[in-house]
Amino acid sequence: MENQRLNSGHGPYYGTDNPGYCPSASAAPAMYAPPVADPSAPSAPPAGTFDNVPGYEGTMVGGGGFLPPPMPTMPMPMPEPGLAQPNWNIPSITEDTAREAFIMFASSKCCYNSSPAREGVITRMDAFNTYRYRLETFNESRSTEWSQEPYNGQPVDAFIQAVPGPWDIPAQAPGLFKDHTQVIRVPYTSSVKNCYACVGMGRSPCKDCAGAGNKVCWVCNGSGYRHGDDRCSHCSGRGRENCSQCRGQGSKECSTCHGRRQILVFINLNVKWTNHIDVYVVEQNSGLKVGNLSKVSGKEMHKDAQYLVYPVRGFPDPAVVGASERLVREHQANYSQTSRILQQRQTIELIPITRVGYMWKGKSCVYFVFGNEFKVSSEDYPATCCCCSVL
């Protein structure tokens, strides 16, 4: 009697038209794929998944751009001019301090002989004024995005009341001039929807077996036999084996709704506090690389912190004045359009740099002592071993 194809509408049947099929009274029955969700279900939320919430029309999945803050209803406070500083003198270091710093520097290097630092004769010490100007702008920016989670009976509050605007939701920065991010669920935006990924079935087709629940046996390559009439023991002659990923079911629990069939959708408000810092260092041709100064602190000569700061006035170095004018203008222009400036702070440090010339065994050398920490830089130290030369 001719085998006839069974068609349950749920998956393939492997009968006479399987090339490796061999009819036998003891042959194992063919394998069927169990019912699975529609493989054409969208992988991303369709447009109709989310409600149209007034004030949040441009909100997307994954977030969008930052939302500009509303215009202030009250006039913002005007910045106050900074106080003039009467004393801009640079502190000088003694020869003993310079030598002690040099000895500590040489002793910290495994390949340096400390003799030049201990026995070298200091011939000259030159002090240099080096100013570091720093401007900080601490601002708050807000953005929104649609989010989702499996529905497990959470409160649903969509349209119970009017939804507050993105800038009407209270959020408090943990501290000034510190980066921080906070995620707040927007009230009255939570609603329940059928899961778009599994079309409300709770399960999704197994990608490993394409929803069939079984795969071609890797031992017999689907023939059901290994050698001649030797039936494949791995698949019991069926030519197919159950998919190990879905355990033969042809589908897996939906990763979007976790099998709950429904999801809770809502709007998240992302509040981000950022401290933007720009630094300008005046070069005084001392010979020390400017990059070294990032490792040290200086004497604070001027500090001004308020809602908005005025550029520095009355400073003896015109380069600092120019840098302050430029950076204050740029910060207030760049960070007031898409965010709310909460505070600005500007400081001027005087970083002491002393260039020390010394003689050792008839050779003239130079090193630098800089910063409040008395750090030392010496690029021509005269007594290093060969491994330092290679490095």
DSSP lists the bridge partners of residue 294 as none
Residue 194: inside a domain: no
Least confident piece of the model among 15-24, 54-63, 152-161, 210-219? 15-24
Q: Which amino acid is at 299?
A: K
214 and 360 part of one domain = no
Residue 315: inside a domain: yes
DSSP lists the bridge partners of residue 222 as none
Mean pLDDT over each residue of the chain, to the nearest integer? 83
Q: What is the pLDDT of residue 47?
A: 67
285 and 211 part of one domain = no
Q: What is the pLDDT of residue 31?
A: 42
Q: How far is CA 4 from CA 7, 52, 127, 212, in A?
A: 9, 54, 101, 20
Q: What is the pLDDT of residue 57?
A: 84
Which range of 37-46, 134-143, 283-292 scores highest in mean pLDDT? It is 134-143
335 and 293 part of one domain = yes
CA dist 74 and 307 (Å) reads 14
What one-character DSSP code corresponds to residue 173?
-
367 and 300 part of one domain = yes
Residue 372: inside a domain: yes
| 91 has pLDDT over 80 | no
Residue 236: inside a domain: yes
227 and 308 part of one domain = no
Residue 30: inside a domain: no
Q: What is the pLDDT of residue 42?
A: 61
321 and 362 part of one domain = yes
Picking from 191, 225, 253, the residue at the C-terminal end of a domain is 253
Given a contact cutoff of 8 angstroms between Cβ atoms, the answer to whether 250 and 208 are in contact is no
- Number of domains observed in the structure of the chain: 2
Residue 242: inside a domain: yes
Q: Which residue has the higher pLDDT, 26 or 92?
A: 92
Residue 284: inside a domain: yes
Residue 373: inside a domain: yes
318 and 364 part of one domain = yes
276 and 249 part of one domain = no
Q: What is the pLDDT of residue 230?
A: 86
247 and 305 part of one domain = no
The b/e string for 89-113 (b: 16+ C-beta within 10 A; e otherwise) is: ebeebeeeebbebbeebbeeeeebe
Q: What is the pLDDT of residue 109?
A: 87
Domain span holding position 300: 95-136+272-377
When pLDDT is cut at 50, 70 and 90, the band that residue 49 belongs to is: confident
Q: What is the pTM (predicted TM-score) of this model?
A: 0.73
281 and 335 part of one domain = yes
Q: What is the pLDDT of residue 78?
A: 61
CA dist 336 and 233 (Å) reads 73
164-188 tens-digit pLDDT? 999 999 999 999 999 999 999 999 9
277 and 362 part of one domain = yes
Q: Which amino acid is at 39?
A: P
212-225 tens-digit pLDDT? 888 888 888 888 88
249 and 277 part of one domain = no
| 326 has pLDDT over 90 | yes
